[in-house]
């Protein structure tokens, strides 16, 4: 059963995340130095406020931290401005943010998700959804005809896409998905964790909701677990999501929220550098004798390159995958042989990570056995290539 969510919150004051008056400012400026977010005491750095409760007479309007708090509000204002949305909400994790979207749908709703998407969310929606009471259909990533056929006008409440899609990096045309969803009366939600608002702002292409695992690029230092949603409008569905967060209590700690703001201030330079490094590595690895295929939307022969070029500005992200010679065992050997690329899950941090996905995702995963996911960090590109090159020498060379 889906939760029954009263539309009048118990103690959440429902203040809107104020829209910035500086909408002409570019994302790099908004991330690093957003006007209107300065602390009243003149500090150039936002303060950490750990309080869980506020006096009723306080002018701030804050009441209880499960509903809202100043550090959350700071991060949410920045993110709403960066995404060009009206409101944003922080959550305890990316999964908690996605969970709030699906729980806020009416019981029995039909939703469409892609075949390739963050595997734990796909698994949770497909295998364990008895508690959600949703009808879920999957379509091939970026296949507009399949999406059109799967939509049930009047019944489909939500189309969920992820672009580029983790971990094979298919690209979906956001504007096309939005217009198909809207024609059928459905909303479009985009997991934009990998693109970040530095490269793509899905709301500009018609998306209704944007989701982030803020654990990844938004924070960028592999030391915060958090999630976020941004809404194009302050509508009834957004109010249900707000209630879901307040009553479900899936908020981050105040220190995590503060660290997230700190991380977001350097978002633009980190994403730009990681994207530049990934592009260099993708081009060099294409010609490597130990590599069977490079999956990266920044390569001209990637099937989604043209769409990615139209909806990603300034780079194609730091995320890529390589298929290596020697199959499952070859991939395991390479992953165990890198030194700079740390063998670990997660992505979007300043340090480079490598992960053999098939053993992680298990049976039923669409990920090939020989695929290694690379989260390219901000180190020196030559050093990163040398590290991969020596590790790739452990598999048969073509
Ligand atoms: C694309 C994507 N979406 C969502 C998530 C879930 O985020 P979290 O781990 O913060 O719950 C992840 C985590 O790896 C992810 O890669």
pLDDT digits (tens, 9 = 90+) for 366-389: 899 999 999 999 999 999 999 999
What is the count of structural domains for the chain?
Answer: 2
Give the closest residue (by CA) to ligand 1 atom 10: 94
Task: Look at residues 390, 394, 195 and name the one whose alpha carbon lies nearest to residue 308.
Answer: 195
Pocket test for ligand 1, best of 192, 215, 228, 229 (most atoms within 8 A of CB): 215
183 and 206 co-located in one domain: yes
What is the set of active-site residues?
A: 66, 118, 191, 216
> Does residue 124 sit in the same domain as residue 60?
yes
Q: Give the Å distance between the CA of 95 and the centre of ligand 1.
A: 6
Question: Probe ligand 1: pick from 95, 320, 349, max atoms within 8 Å of CB?
Answer: 95
Q: Nearest C-alpha to atom 9 of ligand 1 is from which residue? A: 94
Domain containing 366 — which CATH number? Answer: 3.90.1150.10
The answer to whether residues 272 and 372 belong to one domain is yes
Break the chain down into helix, strand, coil percent, rounded to 5.
Answer: 35, 15, 50
Q: What is the pLDDT of residue 38?
A: 78
Q: Is residue 13 part of a domain?
A: no
Q: How many residues are there in the chain?
A: 398
| Residue of minimum CA distance from atom 2 in ligand 1 | 118
For residue 2, being part of any structural domain is answered with no
Residue 290 lies in a domain: yes
Q: How far apart are CA 211 and CA 228, in angstroms?
A: 6
CA of 162 to the centre of ligand 1 (A): 11
Residue 192 shares a structural domain with residue 319:
no
Task: Give the span between the Cα atoms of 269 and 350, in whole angstroms.
Answer: 11
Q: How far is the CA of 316 from the centre of ligand 1 (A)?
A: 18
Query: Within this chain, do residues 258 and 281 fall inside the same structural domain, yes or no?
Result: no
Tell me, what's the pLDDT at 4? Answer: 38
Among residues 264, 284, 305, the one where a domain terminates is 264
Could you say which residues of the chain have pLDDT below 50?
A: 1-20
Claim to verify: residue 291 and residue 209 sit in the same structural domain:
no
Domain end: 264, 280, 298, which one? 264
In this structure, is residue 346 part of a structural domain?
yes
Taking the CA of residue 227 as reference, the ligand 1 atom at the shortest distance is 10
Q: Is residue 295 part of a domain?
A: yes
- What distance in angstroms lies between residue 210's CA and the mean position of ligand 1's atoms? 13
Assess whether 65 and 182 both reside in one domain: yes
Residue ranges making up the domain that contains 385: 267-392
Q: Are residues 151 and 165 in the same domain?
A: yes
Q: How far is the CA of 118 from the centre of ligand 1 (A)?
A: 6
Cα 171 to Cα 165: distance, rounded to the nearest angstrom: 7
Predicted pLDDT at 23:
67
Together in a domain, 235 and 364? no
94 and 66 co-located in one domain: yes
Question: Does 9 map to a domain?
Answer: no
Question: Domain ends where: 236, 264, 292?
Answer: 264
Q: Which residues contact 137 (CB under 8 A, 6 or more apart)?
A: 110, 111, 112, 113, 150
Are 256 and 274 found together in one domain? no
Measured between its terminal Cα atoms, the distance across the chain in Å is 54
Query: Considering the domain boundaries, does residue 14 fall inside one?
Result: no
**Same domain as 301, residue 253:** no
Q: Give the pLDDT confidence score for residue 129 in this predicted structure.
A: 64
Which domain CATH number covers 122?
A: 3.40.640.10
Query: Residue 22: what pLDDT?
Result: 61
pLDDT number for residue 130: 65
Strand-pair category, 291-295 with 319-324: antiparallel
Q: Ligand 1 pocket by C-beta < 6 Å: which residues?
A: 93-95, 118, 121, 162, 166, 191, 193-194, 213, 215, 225, 227, 346-347
Please tell me the predicted confidence (pLDDT) of residue 7: 36
Could you tell me whether strands 156-162 and 187-191 are parallel, antiparallel, or unpaired per DSSP bridges? Answer: parallel
Q: Per the domain annotation, does 143 fall within a domain?
A: yes
């Amino acid at each position: 059963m889906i939760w029954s969510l009263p539309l009048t919150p118990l103690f959440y004051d429902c203040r809107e995340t104020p829209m910035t008056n500086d909408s002409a400012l570019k994302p790099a400026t908004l991330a690093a130095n957003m006007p209107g977010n300065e602390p009243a005491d003149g500090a150039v750095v936002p303060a950490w406020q750990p309080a869980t409760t506020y006096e009723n007479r306080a002018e701030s309007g804050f009441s209880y931290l499960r509903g809202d708090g100043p550090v959350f509000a700071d991060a949410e204002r920045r993110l709403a401005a960066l995404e060009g949305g009206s409101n944003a909400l922080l959550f305890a994790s990316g999964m908690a943010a996605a969970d709030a979207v699906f729980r806020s749908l009416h019981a029995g709703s039909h939703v469409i998700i892609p075949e390739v998407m963050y595997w734990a969310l796909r698994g949770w929606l497909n295998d364990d959804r008895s508690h959600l009471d949703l009808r879920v259909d999957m379509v091939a990533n970026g296949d507009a005809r399949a999406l059109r056929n799967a939509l049930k006008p009047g019944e489909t409440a939500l189309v969920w896409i992820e672009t580029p899609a983790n971990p094979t990096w298919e690209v979906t045309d956001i504007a096309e998905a939005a217009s198909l969803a809207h024609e059928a009366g459905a909303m479009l939600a985009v997991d934009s964790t990998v693109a970040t608002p530095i490269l793509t702002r899905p709301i500009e292409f018609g998306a209704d909701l944007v989701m982030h695992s803020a654990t990844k690029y938004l924070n960028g230092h592999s030391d915060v677990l958090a999630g976020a949603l941004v809404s194009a409008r302050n509508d009834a569905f957004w109010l249900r999501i707000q209630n879901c967060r307040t009553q479900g209590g899936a908020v981050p700690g105040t220190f995590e929220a503060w660290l997230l703001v700190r991380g977001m201030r350097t978002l633009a330079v980190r994403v730009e550098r990681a994207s530049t490094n990934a592009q260099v590595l993708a081009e060099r690895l294409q010609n490597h004798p130990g590599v069977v295929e490079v999956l990266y939307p920044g390569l001209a022969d990637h099937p989604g390159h043209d769409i990615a070029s139209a909806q990603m500005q300034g780079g194609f992200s730091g995320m890529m995958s390589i298929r290596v010679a020697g199959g499952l065992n070859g991939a395991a050997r390479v992953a165990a042989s890198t030194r700079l690329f740390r063998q670990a899950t997660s992505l979007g941090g300043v340090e480079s990570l490598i992960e053999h996905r098939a053993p992680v995702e298990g049976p039923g995963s669409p990920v090939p056995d020989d695929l290694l996911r690379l989260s390219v960090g901000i180190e020196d590109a030559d050093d990163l290539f040398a590290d991969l090159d020596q590790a790739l020498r452990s598999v048969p060379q073509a």
